[in-house]
Chain A
Amino acid sequence: MTSLPFIEKYRANNLNQIKGQDSAIAEARMFLKMFPKKKALIINGPAGNGKTSIVLALAKENDMELFELNASDLRNRASLEAVLKPASLQNSLFKKSKIILMDEADGITGTDRGGVPELIALIEKTKFPIIITANDIWDKKFSLLRQKCQIINLRELNENIVLDIITEVVKKECKKITPENLVLIANKCKGDIRAALNDLESVLNLGEEMRIENIDEREKDIGIFEALKKIFQMPLDKKTLEVFDDVDMEIDEIMLWMEENIPSEYYGKPLAKAYDSLSKADLFKGRIYRQQYWRFLVYQNFFLSAGISASTKLKNKEFKKYNRPTRILKIWMANQKNAKKKSLILKYARFNHMSVKKAMKEYFLLPLIINEKMKKTLDLDDNEIDYLQDKRGALILSSGLNKFRV
C-alpha cells in the first residue's frame, strides 16, 4: 500500500462515489452540458463536504483537462494572460477540452486589490467552463461575481454518510476499530469528511488505546453563547478551562460578556462569588499590562472560566438568552451627551474662578441659574443655551416646581 494520506487515497474517483450530494452533482452536470449559457459555476459550502472532489470527478467523467488557478495567480494579470491564452482561448494540445478551477475563492481579496474584477473579466472572456469553490460566497465582496455565475450550495454532510464513508475506509484498510469509536469520530467532525478521515487515520496509526480523547474536537466556532452556557450551566470540568479556545474573540471582549451576563444566571452568594472571580481575573489583567508578564494570562483565564463556573454547584438549567455587552455603548452615548455639558461647565468654571471638578458639583443648579440673558456673560453658543433651556424646562415640569412660580 502507498503511504498517501487517507484524504487523497480515498478521494472519490467518479461522481457516483461522492455521497450525499446527489442533487448538487446533477446540477453540476447540467452546467457543463449547457455551457456556455452560463460560463461559470460556483460551488459553495463548508469545509470538507466534497467541493473539490466533485470538480475533479466531473473533469474525469467528461474526459476534460483540469486547469487550476489560485488567488495569487489572479492578481498577476500578465502571467495569467500568458497562461490562459492558450488555455482559455485555444483548444488544448490533445484536443481535450478544459475546466478552469478556481479553488477556495475565499482567499481573494476584495475589489481594492483587483482579485474579484480580474476573475469577472476572465469569466467574460473564457471559452472554457470555470468552476469556483468557496466557503462563503455570500460575502459582500463577491456580490458582482455572484451575478455572473450559477451557484450550487453544498450541504454539510450528515453524520450517517460520514459514518458510511469511514466504515468503508476501515474495511479497505483491513483494520479494526470499535463501532463506538467510529461513531465518535463521525460525530466530532461535524460534517467535515476531511477532518473525519484525518482523525480516523491517526486513531488507526496510533492504536485504539490512544483512543478518541486524543482527537481534538475540530475548532469550530462554538461561539461565545456556547462558552457562557458551559460556564454557567454545566458542571465544572477540565473542558471548562478551555472553553474560550473556541471563541473567536479577544479575552477583553469575553470579560465584558461575562460581566454583562453573570447577573442573569447567579443570585445571592453565587453572584458575589462570580463577581469576585471576575474581579480577580481583572486584577491579573491589570498586572499583565503593567508588568508585561504574560504568564499571568493563565490566571486571568482561570478565574474567568473555572473561577466563575465554580461559584455554584446548583446550576440553572433553563435556557437563557445571553445579552451582548452594553457598557461600551452606554459609555459612548454618555460621551456624546456630555460633550455639550463639558464645554458649558468649562466656561462656567473659568468665569467663576473654579476647577471643572468643583463646577461639576454645582452642575445640577446651572439650568436654573444660567438663563438666556447670561449668554454673553459666559460666552455661550446657541447649542449650549438650547441645551440649558431644555434641561430647565424638563426640570421644572417634572418636579412640580411650577406651583411655586408667580
Chain B
Amino acid sequence: MENFEDSTIWTEKYRPKKFEEVVGQDDIIKRVHSLTRTMNIPHFLFAGPAGTGKSTLALIVVKELFGNTWKENYLELNASDERGIDVIRQKVKDFARTKAIGKVPFKVIFLDEADALTKEAQQALRRTMENFTNTCRFIMSANYSSKIIDPIQSRCVIFRFKLLEKKDIEKRVRVIAEKERLQIDDKTIESLYESSEGDCRRVINLLQASSSISPNITVELLNTLISNAKPADIKVVLEYALSGDFIKAKEKLLDVMLRDSISGTDIIKSIQKETWNLQIDNELKVKLTEKTGEIEFRLVEGSDEFIQLEALLASFVLAGRGVMK
C-alpha cells in the first residue's frame, strides 16, 4: 500500500526549509543566519563534500531574504552543466539587468560546483562579479576551496562544511522514518550511514528506494539493494585487469564509460584513486600509479581516450598477473 506521500521525492520533501532544521553545521548556520538577518549579505563561498547542505543553505538564505518572491530573485547555475563561461556570463547579465523585486536591493545567484570552472573561466567570472556587485550577490559552492582562485576567495566569506557525523544523519533519518511510518533500527541506520559516506542526499535516496520495496527497512534489504542497483564501478574493471582478464576489463570499462557518459579524464582520475584502495602490495601500487600518470599525460596529449585507457589496462594486466584471483 502506497500512501499519498509517496508522490514526491524525499530529497526535496525533506530538504530543510529553515536554519534550525539543518543538521551538523551548527557554527556555519549561526553565522550565516545572523548575516542574513541584516538583509545585506556578502558573497558566500560554501566549500565542502557532497551532501552536506551547501545548496540547502543557499536556498534557505534566499527564502529568508525574499520570502514569497524568492523564485524571481534567485538564479541557480551549475558550472558543470553550463557550457563555458560565456553562457554563464550571458545568463548572469540577463538576470542582473532587472532590479530585484521587494525590499532587498539585490538578487542572488547560486553558482553550484564553481570548482568545475577553469582558472581562466574563474578570472572572467571575477570580472562579472565586480560588474554586477550593486545588483547581485553570489553564493558559490565547491568541493574544494583551493580550486577557487584567490581573487574570488578574497571577495567571499568562506564557510567550510564538515562531513556529516553519524548522529546528524541519524537525526534526519529519524524525522523521515516517523513521518513516512518506516521501521528502522539502529543497526540499519549505522549501515545506511556507512554506505553513504556521510552524504545526506545519498542517505535519503537510499531510504526512499528501500521504502518503495518495504516500510520495514533492514540491513539485509539495504545491502541487497545496494549490491544490485549500484552499477559496477571502476574498481571492478581494475580487478578484472589485475586478475589477468584483459578482454573482460576492457568491455567493462567501455560499459561504464558509455552507460554514464563518463569522460576519459574522469575515468583515469578514479583509476588513480582506486588503485590506492586496492588490496595489493604497496610496491605494486606505486608502479601502477606511475603507469597511470604516464597514460593520463598521453590521454591529454593524444586523441582517442579509450585507446589510452586500454593501454593502461593492458599494463595493469601485465603488472598484476597473479595478484588477484
Q: Which of A272, A354, A362 sits near B317, CB closer than 8 Å?
A: A272
18 intermolecular pairs with C-beta atoms under 8 Å apart:
A259-B306, A271-B246, A272-B311, A272-B315, A275-B315, A282-B302, A282-B303, A286-B303, A287-B301, A331-B258, A342-B261, A356-B81, A365-B208, A371-B6, A374-B7, A395-B229, A401-B213, A401-B221
Known A352-B9, A355-B112, A401-B228; judge A365-B250 contact (CB<8 A): no
Q: Which of A351, A357, A368, A404 sits near B220, CB closer than 8 Å?
A: A404
B214 cross-chain contacts in A, Cβ below 8 A: 404-406
Whether B260 pairs with A400 at a CB distance below 8 angstroms is no
Whether A369 pairs with B205 at a CB distance below 8 angstroms is yes
A residues within 8 Å of B by Cβ?
A: 255, 259, 263, 268-269, 271-272, 274-276, 278-280, 282-283, 285-287, 289, 327, 330-331, 334, 338, 342, 348-349, 351-358, 360, 362-365, 367-371, 373-374, 376-378, 395-396, 398-401, 404-406
Contact residues, B173-223 vs A (CB, 8 A):
201-202, 205-206, 208-210, 212-216, 218, 220-221
Contact with A along B245-258 (1 / 0, CB 8 A): 01100100010001
Q: Which of A255, A354, A363, A399 sits near B307, CB closer than 8 Å?
A: A255
Whose C-beta in chain B lies nearest to the C-beta of A377? B8
In the complex, number of A-B residue pairs with CB atoms less than 8 Å apart: 175
A272 cross-chain contacts in B, Cβ below 8 A: 311, 314-315, 317-318
B170 contacts the other chain (Cβ, under 8 Å)? no
A404 cross-chain contacts in B, Cβ below 8 A: 213-214, 216, 218, 220-221, 224
A158 CB → nearest B CB, Å? 43
Whether A275 pairs with B314 at a CB distance below 8 angstroms is yes
Report the Cα distance A329→B274, complex, angstroms: 29
Q: Chain B at the A interface: mostly helix, strand, loop or mixed?
A: helix
Whether A370 pairs with B311 at a CB distance below 8 angstroms is no
B215 cross-chain contacts in A, Cβ below 8 A: 406
Whose C-beta in chain B lies nearest to the C-beta of A277? B311
Q: Which of B225, B304, B310, B311 sits near A285, CB closer than 8 Å?
A: B304
Q: Which of A351, A367, A371 sits near B12, CB closer than 8 Å?
A: A351
Q: Chain A at the B interface: mostly helix, strand, loop or mixed?
A: helix
B residues within 8 Å of A by Cβ?
A: 2, 4, 6-12, 50, 55, 59, 76, 78-81, 112-113, 201-202, 205-206, 208-210, 212-216, 218, 220-221, 224-225, 227-231, 246-247, 250, 254, 258-261, 295, 298, 301-304, 306-308, 310-311, 313-315, 317-318, 321
B221 cross-chain contacts in A, Cβ below 8 A: 401, 404
Whether B302 pairs with A400 at a CB distance below 8 angstroms is no
